[in-house]
Chain A
Amino acid sequence: EVQLVESGGGLVEPGGSLRLSCIASGFIFDDYAMHWVRQVPGKGLEWVSGLSWQGYSSGYADSVKGRFSVSRDNDKNSLYLQMRSLRIEDTALYYCVKGRGYWGDPLDIWGRGTMVTVSS
């Protein structure tokens, strides 16, 4: 069974940093692109970032470009999201999502998310 477990969320002040982690199991991690998608409570979904199977190609939403950085460690079956210069509007539930292929393939399985709250 595919499982994605996010961690690292919490309360941080505006301008601060946070690193999210996602540990994957139940599939060959380094065969698939991975993504982060966020959701403000009660609002819609926003794709945040994606990373190809080997980590050579990445993409970012305009709202986080230059502040967030995605990475992966295929030896540890882990995906990361380094978030810097956090803003109040970054407050959301962050989901780790498995892609269906190497890169540019649809989003597939979702984790349960980790909550990030940016507040003073």
Chain B
Amino acid sequence: HTVVTQEPAFSVSPGGTVTLTCGLRSGSVSDDHYPSWYQQTPGQAPRTLIYSASVRSSGVPDRFSGSILGNKAALAITGAQTDDEAHYYCVLYMGSGNWVFGGGTKLTVL
């Protein structure tokens, strides 16, 4: 049973930088997991921010960036804005067509 871990909550000041992470309870995250990040605001469907670890989706501001940091995937938000207050989810590819989402991080900007 694969468990993808994310920080339940994070807080950042407007203009600040925050890094959210996405890990595996057992093992390390690599490019082979094609880590992706999604942003969801209340009442809205998720939208893709980053895919394949570091590729920004079309129309996503460059203050969002993705990477592999050590044994986890990471989403960095630099120059955070109040509009960035949302839930952020990562998902990992586990092979054979199967994907597993993390529990999500609730980001507060204040």
Contact = CB atoms under 8 A, between A and B. Distances in A.
Interface of A: 33, 35, 37, 44-47, 50, 52, 57-62, 95, 100, 103-113
Interface residues of B, number: 26
A95 B46 CA distance: 9
B100 A47 contact: yes
Contacts of B1: 62
Nearest to A112: B45
Interface string B67-110: 00000000000000000000101010101111111111000000
Nearest to A106: B51
B49 to A, nearest CB: 11
Given A35-B99, A57-B97, A61-B98, A108 B48 contact: yes
Contacts of A58: 97
Which one of A35, A46, A108 has the greatest number of beta carbons of chain B within 10 Å? Answer: A108
B97 A107 contact: no
22 contacts: A35-B99, A37-B101, A44-B89, A44-B104, A45-B38, A45-B89, A46-B101, A50-B97, A52-B97, A57-B97, A58-B97, A59-B96, A59-B97, A95-B46, A104-B93, A104-B95, A106-B36, A106-B91, A107-B38, A108-B57, A110-B48, A111-B45
